[in-house]
Amino acid sequence: MNAHLSPDRLKAVGPLPAGHPTVKIGKIGVLLTNLGTPDGTDYWPMRRYLKEFLSDRRVIETPRALWWPLLNLIILQTRPQKKGKDYASIWNKERDESFLKTITRSQAEKLAAMNLNDKIVVDWAMRYGNPSIKSRLQALQDQGCDRILLVPLYPQYAAATTATACDKTFEALMQMRWQPTLRVAPPYHDDPIYIESMVTSLKKGLAELDFEPEVILATFHGVPKEYLMKGDPYHCQCVKTWRLMREAMGLSPDKFMMSFQSRFGPAEWLKPYTDETVEALAKKGVKKLALIAPGFSSDCLETLEELDGENREIFEHNGGEQFAYIKCLNDSDEGMAVIRGVVERELMGWI
């Protein structure tokens, strides 16, 4: 039940002026956040989404004087059409939304259904697009949440993902008269529950195939190499996730490989690149390949279209014969075990 300021508390602060609003307190909010999604696949929804995303100084660190004309005069004139077609190819037509939105909503609903504590209110938000972090923070506070746990659904920390979700949250808090107390869940790249769930999910996915892969490739979203050189821990955390999964699977580095995908622009990004690795494996004679994306908590454009679409074509075009993409944890039992484990650990002392 939502709690209200008690009569004793009201007396302590003195008589309240007429028309003073009733304030709800005593609840704990859990806000799951993911990267974001456009509201539609047409030009203007895609342009709004891309402009918000590519204007973030943590995502693109190029000086504004160079980046701003390039973004507004070239990229936002052409890229919305191309990315709109990509999104349309994997769009959830039944709900008229991206699968990232569908899955993130389901993760929040399943977490809420676990009834962790009657004080907890679960919600979800996107860093770019809708529902916005600001709107859902306000919704949680309106329901009486004076303490909020922010859970960025990124196993590995990067300034361009986890940090920017925190930035947007802090920006929203700056505009609140009465700020809720905030906690932020840390990255969980080496959490035993996460590693166990990834390995279990991988084994289940492999068991459903009608072939045995010669190589399994763990592919993580890339970032410019410059970010690593500036001190971003993302690369190191990806490597540790890959190593722990490989060891748990009992596979050698040449049988369970790793790479980085989704590079953008002319700068050097983290290597090896996924598309080049897939092409090289096919040309080397590998006929059976499976890909898994441990850095994504939910399937999205980068997995459904880029990995299962583009990289499948690259593999088959260069001599590969059997290709499989193993789905993300999503809202599976394994995926929800990870989210629940992180939330329960980070709420210690509050419940």
For residue range 233-244, list pLDDT tens digits in order: 999 999 999 999
Residues in a beta bridge with 123: 31
The phi, psi pair for 304, rounded to 5°, reads -70, -40
| For range 196-209, the mean pLDDT | 98
Question: Would the pLDDT of 327 be above 70?
Answer: yes
Q: Tens digits of per-residue pLDDT, 240-258? A: 999 999 999 999 999 999 9
Q: What is the pLDDT of residue 92?
A: 96
Residues in a beta bridge with 181: 147
| Side chain identity, residue 120 | I
Q: Distance (Å, rounded) from C-alpha 148 to C-alpha 128?
A: 20
Q: What is the mean pLDDT of the chain?
A: 94
Question: Would the pLDDT of 7 be above 80?
Answer: no
Predicted TM-score of the model (pTM)? 0.92
Location of structure tokens 């508390």: 9
Q: ∠ at Cα 74 (162, 100), nearest 5°?
A: 35
Residues 6 or more apart from 121 whose CB is under 8 A from it?
Answer: 27, 28, 29, 30, 112, 140, 143, 144, 145
| Side chain identity, residue 167 | D
| For range 205-227, the mean pLDDT | 97
Residue 131, preceding bond cis, omega within 30 degrees? yes
Q: Distance (Å, rounded) from C-alpha 184 to C-alpha 149?
A: 6
Q: Distance (Å, rounded) from C-alpha 321 to C-alpha 134?
A: 47
Percent of the chain past pLDDT 90, that is, above it, reads 92
Q: ∠ at Cα 163 (118, 178), nearest 5°?
A: 50
Q: Using pLDDT thresholds of 50, 70 and 90, give the confidence band for residue 144.
A: very high
Q: Using pLDDT thresholds of 50, 70 and 90, give the confidence band for residue 14.
A: low
Residue 15, preceding bond cis, omega within 30 degrees? no
Q: Tens digits of per-residue pLDDT, 31-64? A: 999 999 999 999 999 999 999 999 999 999 999 9
Q: Which domains does the chain have, with CATH numbers?
A: 3-188+335-346 (3.40.50.1400), 192-326 (3.40.50.1400)
